[in-house]
Amino acid sequence: MNKKFYSFLILFVLGLFSAQIYSQNLIAGWDGDGVTGENSKPNDVGWLSSVDGVPWSTANSGGGCRFRDPGEDNCVGYTNEDGTENLGRQLMLRWDGSPYNTAVYAYPVELEGNSTYEFSLDFLLGGSSTAPKNMTVGASTTPDLTGQLVAETFTSTDDVKVYRRVSILFTTSTAGTYYVTFTGAWAWYGITNLYLEKSDVQLTELNKQYEDLDLGDLMGIIEDIDLPTELGTQGVTVAWSSSNPAVIDSTGKVTQPEKYNAVVKLTATVSQQVGDSVYSLVKIFNAMVEGIIPTPDEVAQWDFNPESISLVEGVTQVTDNFSGFVGTLKNEARIRTIGETDQYNVLDLGNGTGYFDMGEEIGKVVYSLLDYTLCGYFRIDEDYAYINNNGNFYWTFSNSADIDADKNGYMIGSLKAQSQSVATNYYNIGNQATSAGANAPLGAWHHFAFVQSGNVGIIYLDGVEVARNESMTNLPAFAIPKEGFTGTLYNWLGRSNYKNDVYLRKALLYDFRMFAVPLSVDDINLDYLSVPATLDLLNNAYAENPDYIADDLQVESDNLDPGDLSAVTADLTLPSQGTTNPDITIVWKSSNTQLITNEGLVTRPDFFDYSLTLTATLIKDGQSVSKDFEATVLAKEGTAFQNDLMVHFDFSEIDENGHVVDQAEKGFKGVSRNGACVGKIGTSTVYNVLHLGDSIGYFDMGEDVGKVIYNLTDYTICAYFRVDEVYEELTRNGNFLWAFSNSEDIRSDALGYIICPLNNQRHSITLDGSGANQQTVSAGYAPLQGTWHHIAYVQDSELQTGTLYLDGVPVALGEITHLPKFALPREGKLGTPYNWIGRSCYSGDAYLRHTLVYDFRIYGKALTDDDFGLGGEMDVTETIVNLDAAYEEFYDGLSSISFSPYKVYSVNGSIIIDGLNGNEQVAIYNVSGQRVKMSDQSSAISVRPGIYVVRIGDFASKVIVR
């Protein structure tokens, strides 16, 4: 087969300048010629981004990616590194939000061919992060990084008001449109004084030696190669680097891989010093080192024939026919037999999260693929409604199981678009695809194939070409390998490497194959794969019997009975082989191994009885049938709740380990985290309250509280709270008073929760995240700040209604059918693991700050209006009056300064104390409890803006400094 390799030219020089004498600026229009008002957004004047969602804004508008003029839009005080004032028009480029944190910003320019150009600019890190940070400046033939000619990474100054001048040098091969490109860290950057000019640097000898550098035939290498370090007689040198030093190192030493060919990128940096500058040309050579056992033409085939199927410790494994790779069925995936006259074993992915894990060994072959073929048969049920959702991958070969997080390369075949994609990093970073642009057909057997030959990628459906890309240059051997990896680690059928994508469901797969050669259309349709004939056989078999079960398996399944599981208190004996046929293997799977293990060992829970499912899978000759049994494990004797008040944190008791002890009957223990703490208010009556602080403080109620949540039907959750009037972010997303969640971050793992955000005072319960499955009762407004309040949610399971009470008064009623006992439990869990006061279960949300919390409760019953009213169990109005009075008379252990002869206030960034006689003990603390140093307590004390506590003897006052 023909293997094609390519060399790429990169010419660059790095310079740092404080001043420059300019000739004609070829990029003079970068700043829109000073345009303001309408049509002054950067994208109006030619700026581009590789991603949608960039917040382009008009000049001097105060937000987004925009131009800023000196003296406008807070664009003041900028200087150069030499201290001179910089009055250039600034372009603010932003990477401090999603999805534009991955953006490549670009500006086009028309250039001549066979010419050298120098591009320079001033840049700085402007904000959203701490300086210094790096920014990469490049030149490209495309507005993204796929046509990059040169890229240099520069570090900003460590002052967000000081520009640094940098430059790159690059050459063009042909006349046309080129782009200067920019990428940065999570922050915003300012750039100005962009300048592009033709360079008169003469590099005749460097160019000659670069052109003459040739390593010869690098295909099928088995011996060391000569890598020169000097070229010619005029001081041209070469420095070598290797993408895989374990195979070819920088001296040219070759070590053959034990198995499979390895493609290595050798980078030659050809350099020459001219004057005070060093100029370099980079030439890349792609070499293939033959493995001691080379990559075979026929790499893998999984046709799921009975001889290839084995059962290892209860797990079904399937060995491929060509190389002996061992794959594993995952979750509900199973082997299914279709037909009776002619029978075929196929992979049934199920209707959940079933998939087939091909193992890591096949990933080593992926790292060697140049020309190749991937193909297989599939049948998707006609009632499958999600074929157009992201995901639905037939195959995945990825360096990461979570590509959103790692962005490090993959190869995927999607039935959503009938496409093949190969990415160096991510869908919008170095990705190329061949796509039919249409959903795969449903309701019959079909064949899906991708063939790569040279730079041409072709999609075939049922042996007919449906898509072609003649610029598919992302070959797996070049695009996917990453340093430290020997192959793709995550190699799956039916599962995506994007965590939020759907699995391929309600689908059958058959005869998946990988070849290290490009199959021809005749290979696919005629004798080798015989796709049309095989499709007829599969469709006939499915029509004859879509799910054949051998008689002896069915008989054994019908007779299988583990006994009474309605009140389990002791270990179970679960049969491992058939009684009617001992050749049948029985494998058990528990939906909650904390209660009953797969072997039948029982652990009785505390507090509540729990139900679970035991699934028996009967297996013989690759065929399997499953049967479910419902079981209930009884709680340990003496641990059940005796009262309706199940959780009560009034913060009155703290044990020797600093844990807050719940005052209901079980004594659950919670922990204040990240600066949250328990303090006191009041003198006449002292109340212990939770201080959430001014940062990321919260209270962790512990996992035992989550067990209570998993068993609620009728219930009440309530608490008192006080949000200080200085808090300015109460309306932001987050600000949860309480959260009971199955996931630490619902954005990435939507597994259900109960929450109470104070930004609109609501109670929500969901099966997953904030979509259609969320049910809410809401007041619709934030609470009045600077005074105590009470919020309560009451669920009536019989009426299927939820009522929200504010300060003891019902303010909102809604239909709520989700009851925690049935909506929240997840396989393998006994309760919500994340049970917090003051913290959201959505990453990026605001913590509830500047807030005090008192008397948090969970009841296993629905409280009534009378319970909240005067003289009732809660007596809310009276308690609020008492809490307000306590807060005014006593602040965290000291009497209010209003009862003293002193007066405390702030002026111009300083704290002023009037009435001191010089004998008092005075101390000032910030909200973190750190003491502020004072040189003279009789004068104004200069402090940073914030909230402070001033203590004078036995009195205290809070003061806000703006």
Structure tokens at 620: 């013989």
Confidence category of residue 932, pLDDT binned at 50, 70, 90 = confident
The whole-number pLDDT of residue 929 equals 55
- Identical fold at 298-544 and 893-961? no
Amino acid identity, position 739: A
CATH 3.40.50 fits 893-961, yes or no: no
Query: Which DSSP category does 830 fall into?
Result: S
Structure tokens at 378: 């599939």
Distance of alpha carbon 229 from alpha carbon 768, whole angstroms: 60
pLDDT (average), residues 50-79: 91
Q: How many Cα atoms are found within 13 Å in the side-chain-facing hemisphere of 382? A: 2
Task: Tell me the CATH architecture of domain 298-544.
Answer: Sandwich (2.60)
Amino acid identity, position 379: R
The whole-number pLDDT of residue 621 equals 79
Given 3-state DSSP classes, what are the helix, strand and coil percentages for the chain, each rounded to the nearest 5?
A: 10, 40, 50
The whole-number pLDDT of residue 205 equals 83
The whole-number pLDDT of residue 14 equals 34
The whole-number pLDDT of residue 890 equals 65
Q: How many Cα atoms are found within 13 Å in the side-chain-facing hemisphere of 59? A: 22
pLDDT (average), residues 906-914: 86
pLDDT (average), residues 637-648: 96
Structure tokens at 596: 């009953």
Amino acid identity, position 238: V
Q: List the beta strands (DSSP E) in 669-799.
A: 669-673, 677-681, 687-691, 698-700, 715-723, 736-741, 753-757, 762-766, 774-778, 788-796
Q: Is 60 exposed, middle or buried (0-12, 13-18, 19+ CB in 10 A)?
A: middle
Report the topology of domain 645-888.
Jelly Rolls (2.60.120)
Cβ 67 vs Cβ 42: under 8 Å: yes
The whole-number pLDDT of residue 99 equals 72
Report the topology of domain 9-198.
Jelly Rolls (2.60.120)
Q: Is the pTM of this model over 0.75?
A: no
The whole-number pLDDT of residue 952 equals 79
Position 21 pLDDT exceeds 50: no
Cβ 689 vs Cβ 679: under 8 Å: yes
Query: pLDDT tens for residues 28-41?
Result: 999 999 999 999 99
pLDDT (average), residues 338-349: 96
Query: pLDDT tens for residues 257-312?
Result: 999 999 898 999 888 887 787 877 778 898 999 999 999 999 999 999 989 998 88
The whole-number pLDDT of residue 19 equals 32
Higher-confidence residue: 871 or 937?
A: 871
**CB within 8 A of 604, min separation 6: which ones?**
569, 595, 633, 634, 635, 636
Task: Tell me phi and psi for residue 343, to 5 degrees.
Answer: -105, 145
Higher-confidence residue: 152 or 361?
A: 361
Query: pLDDT tens for residues 415-474?
Result: 999 999 999 999 888 889 999 999 999 999 999 999 999 999 999 999 999 999 998 999
Confidence category of residue 939, pLDDT binned at 50, 70, 90 = low
Domain ranges of the chain: 9-198, 218-270+280-289, 298-544, 551-633, 645-888, 893-961
